[in-house]
Structure 1
């Protein structure tokens, strides 16, 4: 696989685009193939260039970033969508992820985080800025854990199987991964959910409809 990450940058603020452009130019792993200043341009650019990742501002003229993400997902399941925003409200983050975003990067990022986020979503992983990860551990206003939408697809698979009573070896065999990888995912789940044991994971799964 080509290691170069082909990127579209969509943000209506010229200064922000210029700053991110300069950062991307300093990363030999990255190639900026197009810049867009509104939602319509972003959709057209994705259809034309078929990038690996689109860096997508959440608040733009025309279709918003969330609306652009929905439109892209109707026709393109391959391009990874990394949201850019200064908004860290849980509701907005979850709406973006439900719309098809693969990651959510707050605009106060540093260069190392930008590269980590791009590499993660390009490789099919979900990326959330560290401050969002912290939000993920906080209770909602109703006192319930945050929605399951901020978990990766693999974490949801592991959570479902753990809550169903399957052992580490059974999960490893069913998912064709090693027991150590299962333990890693379970540990990350506990961190994200704020659970301390399998009982806590099971409770979360029941409360959030993971077990159907």
Structure 2
């Protein structure tokens, strides 16, 4: 069972999301939160696998809550919820460790599938959405500095990171580079550890900052 926390200041939205998600036999909502403070407290109390976190909430907004949650020991996967196609705050949430974002009107089957993808350790953004989000809103750092950070990875790991930056899945990277999917996963894990990153979205942002993606 994948254990979830839902955080949104609108009760009707939380109720609707809960009803959709709990219709799946492998998903269960263990807590709800109406603001960022409650979301952080719920994570500490229930230790969920995934939290769906509204970007805009009272008291403590979703962005600040995401930063606190991802700083927790063994944090849940953080997915931002938004009513906007490209929310100006989403890229900042990705940088503090969120793994992506969902539109609040995402179809029920896609919502459940996205939660499973995130739980399995993948970025939940579709490749086209990932590229658009990174291109439109990713805050650019100095490209030379980003490239220096990437010097700690091997040439093969860098190839894999470039493919991650293009939004490819492990299976797609394996086909492109002639590797087993398990080998790709190992390269990704080692590269993330060397770079001090927590997920593939942060790796994609770094590759884009380095102008390599």
1:94 to 91, 94, 106: 91
- What is the CA–CA distance in structure 2 between the aligned matches of 1:206 and 1:49, rounded to whole Å? 35
CA contact (8 A) 2:80 2:90 kept: no
Match of 1:114 among 89, 111, 114: 111
In the alignment, structure 1 residue 76 sits paired with structure 2 residue 73: yes
Question: How high is the TM-score relative to the length of structure 1?
Answer: 0.65
CA 1:159–1:74: 2 relative to 1, 3 Å = closer
- Runs of 4+ aligned structure 1 residues displaced above 3 Å come to 159-162
> Structure 1 pair 134/100, CA: closer, same or farther in 2 (3 Å)?
closer
The structural deviation recorded for 1:92 is: 2.5
Residues 180 and 64 of structure 1, relative CA distance in 2, 3 Å threshold = same
Instruction: Please list, as runs of the form range in 1=range in 2, the aligned pairs for 1:35-54 lying within 5 A after superposition.
Output: 35-54=32-51
SS in structure 2 of the partner of residue 127 of structure 1:
coil
RMSD: 3.8
Deviations 1:54-110 (A, max 9, x none): 111111111111100101122234311111111222642211201211121111201
Q: How many aligned residue pairs are there? A: 167
Structure 1: which 5+ runs fail to align?
149-154, 163-170, 186-204
Mapped pair 1:104 → 2:101: yes
| TM-score, length of structure 2 as denominator length | 0.65
Deviations 1:162-192 (A, max 9, x none): 9xxxxxxxx98xxxx961549x99xxxxxxx
